[in-house]
Structure 1
């Protein structure tokens, strides 16, 4: 059984716990809250004993032998136990898969297994996760997409007993800038401060802090994902915070060079999956690069790298002879807008 995190939470209230749960995905808040819901359901059903297995010290994997022994050992302090397994990469390997498969083939009556992971994609699944799905439930906490965020916030407000009009929801959406943890914290604060009336934009403005996190990583991700409006907004925030353009360019150039290299591999008919692995690009970030590579041919990525060098010269006051003086912030914005949206390429001709 595969459920969304919110569906899993609702299902936990309707009956006894299943033998096993797998909760994974790139959105930490949704993973955390779904796992907390399983823990809360376990406590409500009288499961007081809890064991946690994860990699420790220099170990790359949990102690699989100890985990398997725990499954078959009688409970010391209670009739039932919650056994948690933390897999950051969602890849238990051969030994771990065997232990999980053995558990699912004959789940002990006194054990509930909770597996949590910080990554997930189609490549992560296997016989071990399918086995969990057969005897229990799988819940994948995907990242909430920008167009889904207003709905997520509105639903979250309702669960906290709050009502907000469309403008207020949109304002909160813009303030948290995709940060679900910040959104959850602000909504909890609103639940304490609200007088019970419907929240409008003015009230939201007065009660909610601007929780947007402006940093170079998010700016680059926005550009690579084709989110031009986000690029302009984040750059304006960075500039207002006093960030210097040269402090941003190192990561900008690195990402553009990475994309250029991947584009050359793709253009040459090479194995892009192998290139991702060679560049140590996580599975969760590969779709971002794939979307970006579809927007621009390989030569254009090399041109973007050269343009970043021009921005660096402008920022350091080292423009070439005959090069028109320009605001380095404007030049950087035009570059990243061109990365995000091919129609913005014309802006580079003016840079």
Structure 2
């Protein structure tokens, strides 16, 4: 009993130390004591991708719905923040071809109000889309949600009096501190984790494992699918709004369907059905894609140009590394498991050659 209490106390102490270290690093980065704008941009982007990827994993990994509509929902959140946070006095210079619609031309909202509004609008659209689409299954659902994502992008391209069409909207107020990005990410992920561990989360997992058996047990399939789809869309809209503020500009071309594939890559790499794996995958993919840009630059060795080093070569390298990773981790980095102290202790024991807790060795039970 005393050993267990000591172990719990040590784990709590380590958890507190990790939280303090994380907060200290963010403070040092935020005050520009360490790092530069490039590092801060990558970390902010990783946090935004974590929000969107975890929300997509809620739908795809925990509920078992093959949805590919995240880019469209992100576009809704991004344009909502862009339309309502740009200062009114700057809008005439932005909408110089077609004047902005008078209904929204003089409305300016605080950032967090516009961010929540973008998430709610994305959730509302997802419900309207989900009513007919969520009756489909497997590849048919993926194709339908992907099609609706493209429809949303095309609508924004043609709504010139609202979104400025293909020109997009710039001069969006930036994010003043990293605490906004990481704070929203932490709150969003905690909410999704609590949802997954609730009765609704257990219903989602039951639908994922066997929807017929889940329905036989009294679970309303359509209701729970719509709830999961709407919550996933809400947080995708939140991520889109943060992305618009981070970049300072937004246009429909940023939300092609290929953007959704990046998030699908993250959740497959991290593990379908693992929140911690998805978070790790978000930062690995975001940082990897950025730091491999060195392969896009021409390379000269002893006065000889290496012809393979050119624009786009980094994606070849990145794809090759992912292929190797998938071969060794077929279920992703975490599979359906979550990062825990027991997992970390087990990993260290295996590294040291010690048997796991509960395993019988020649000397007895450890």
Structure with more relative contact order (C-alpha pairs < 8 Å, separation 6 or more): 2
TM range (shorter): under 0.3
Q: Higher strand fraction: Structure 1 or Structure 2?
A: 1
Larger radius of gyration: 1
Q: Higher helix fraction: Structure 1 or Structure 2?
A: 2
TM-score by length of 2: 0.23
